[in-house]
């Protein structure tokens, strides 16, 4: 009967940090011998996605069922990139942003590393080795990682526009990128070839955006000439906050157009959508709101969500730049009670 191998406790922390991956060198240091590794792979308890790399979860990455799958996938791909190229690989670009905890990247973000000695190496398993000019690094765990501003400058030009804006929004929202730091990042970006499409995005950064879907929707509104009058707006009635909505436009007749992006953040579960229904009814009961709801996938259509919203706003003769109360709650009149049947 084959022996059952128990993972050493010393490996557990490393496995958690590296999304379940270990390198051959790390296994040897932890006392997981070559014979044991071969047995684990033979028993389909582990897999070896590349030479010198072991995965302690035998389920293929794309088939794993986890609440944090997107975050897990990003970390798995990043650590795979680093382990494939050895202990002196430096995380750069999107890989560095993942280790810094920056969100907004696409699920298939480019994988790249640099070498501490800047020696040329071939692309392996889809992981490119890049040779950037000298850039500052920090240590995250036992790894050298491009400093967050340089990592962003390396990554942004290779991202779709909506993801580039989402990354910038997240830097401003959670990573302390003030307008001054964003301007410094913009200067770093200007020096890189292929960055022309990024310049306008710096003027659209808003730390109130909470997801890629919201950033992408806001970019679509901008592209279609209908930037929202405000976002993440508190709606009040009877002196109480009854909702917070994603985007609003103040219409000339005094009403509001509200747009909500479903399937992300607080709207991400079926239970949340059920809870949203009475809230939506309460908002509409006052007769002061027109509400549109979209799924993120609708932004992939020609013109995106912005084109659909632009048609509605055109019918109501909305014009940009006429709302001066951004950042303040919207107060709705309390709906009159429905008289009881006689």
Asked, for residue 63, whether it belongs to a domain, the answer is no
Q: Are residues 28 and 75 in the same domain?
A: no
Let me know if residue 173 belongs to a domain.
yes
Tell me phi and psi for residue 8, to 5 degrees: -60, 145
| CA–CA separation, 318 and 327 (whole Å) | 19
Question: Does any domain span residue 337?
Answer: no
Out of 38, 58, 78, a domain closes at 58
Q: Taking 80 as the threshold, does the pLDDT of residue 45 lie above it?
A: yes
Mean pLDDT of 187-203: 90
Domain extent at residue 48: 9-58
Region 263-288: mean pLDDT is 57
Between residues 123 and 150, the one the model is more confident about: 150
The alpha carbon dihedral of 87, 92, 97, 98 has a sign of: negative
Q: At what angle do helices 179-190 and 148-156 cross, to 10 degrees?
A: 50
Q: Are residues 172 and 242 in the same domain?
A: no
The verdict on residue 34 lying in a domain is: yes
- Tally of domains in the chain: 3
Query: Are 80 and 191 members of one domain?
Result: yes
Enumerate residues 6+ apart whose C-beta is below 8 A from 93. Answer: 110, 112, 130, 146, 151, 154, 155, 158
159 and 280 together in one domain: no
Residue 174: inside a domain, yes or no?
yes
Q: Which residue from 24, 14, 20, 18 is spatially nearest to 52, judged by alpha carbons?
A: 24
- 81 and 192 share one domain: yes
DSSP symbols for 150-161: HHHHHHHTTS-H
What pLDDT is recorded for position 270?
A: 43
Backbone angles phi, psi at 139, to 5 degrees: -100, 125
Per-residue model confidence (pLDDT) at position 266: 44
Residue among 169, 252, 234, 231 at smallest CA distance from 204: 169
Residues 319 and 216 in one domain: yes
* Residue 144, φ and ψ in degrees, nearest 5: -85, 130
Query: Is the pLDDT assigned to residue 118 strictly greater than 90?
Result: no
- Residue 123 CA: distances (Å) to CA of 113, 114, 177, 221, 262: 10, 11, 33, 38, 39
What pTM was estimated for this model as a whole? 0.89
Choice between 46 and 341, residue whose per-residue pLDDT is larger: 46
Is 340 contained in some domain? no
Domain final position from 17, 37, 58: 58
How does pLDDT run across 47-72, given as a tens digit for each residue?
Answer: 999 999 999 999 999 999 999 999 99
User: What local confidence, expressed as pLDDT, does residue 219 receive?
Assistant: 97
Is 326 a domain residue?
yes
Residue 246 and residue 130 share a domain: no
Q: What is the CATH number of the domain that holds 229?
A: 3.40.960
The model's confidence at residue 286, banded by pLDDT at 50, 70 and 90, is low
């Amino acid at each position: 009967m084959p022996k059952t191998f128990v993972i050493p406790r010393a490996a557990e922390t490393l496995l958690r940090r590296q999304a379940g991956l270990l390198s051959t060198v790390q296994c040897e240091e932890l006392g997981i011998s070559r014979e044991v590794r071969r047995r684990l792979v033979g028993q389909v308890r582990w897999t070896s996605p590349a030479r010198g790399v072991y995965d302690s979860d035998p389920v293929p990455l794309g088939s794993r069922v986890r609440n944090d799958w997107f975050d897990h996938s990003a970390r798995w791909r990043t650590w795979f990139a680093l382990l494939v190229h050895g202990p002196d690989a430096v995380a750069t670009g999107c890989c560095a942003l993942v280790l810094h905890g920056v969100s907004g990247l696409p699920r298939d973000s480019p994988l790249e590393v640099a070498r501490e000695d800047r020696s040329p190496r071939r692309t392996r398993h889809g992981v490119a080795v890049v040779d950037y000019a000298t850039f500052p690094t920090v240590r995250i765990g036992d790894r050298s990682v491009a400093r967050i501003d340089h990592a962003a400058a390396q990554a942004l030009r290779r991202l779709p526009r909506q993801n580039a804006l989402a990354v910038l929004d997240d830097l401003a929202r959670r990573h302390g990128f003030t307008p001054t730091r964003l301007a410094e990042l913009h200067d770093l970006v200007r020096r890189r070839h292929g960055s022309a499409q990024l310049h306008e995005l710096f003027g659209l950064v808003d730390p109130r955006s909470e997801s890629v879907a919201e950033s992408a929707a806001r970019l679509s509104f901008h592209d279609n000439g209908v930037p929202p009058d405000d976002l993440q707006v508190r709606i009040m009635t009877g002196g109480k906050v009854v909702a917070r909505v994603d985007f609003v436009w103040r219409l000339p007749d005094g009403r509001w157009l509200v747009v909500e992006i479903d399937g992300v953040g607080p709207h991400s579960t079926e239970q949340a959508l059920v809870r949203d229904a009475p809230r939506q009814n309460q908002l509409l009961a006052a007769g002061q709101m027109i509400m549109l709801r979209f799924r993120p996938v609708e932004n992939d259509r020609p013109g995106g969500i912005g084109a659909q919203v632009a048609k509605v706003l055109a019918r109501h003769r909305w014009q940009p730049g006429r709302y001066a109360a951004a950042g303040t709650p919207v107060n709705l009149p309390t709906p009159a009670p429905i008289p009881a049947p006689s």
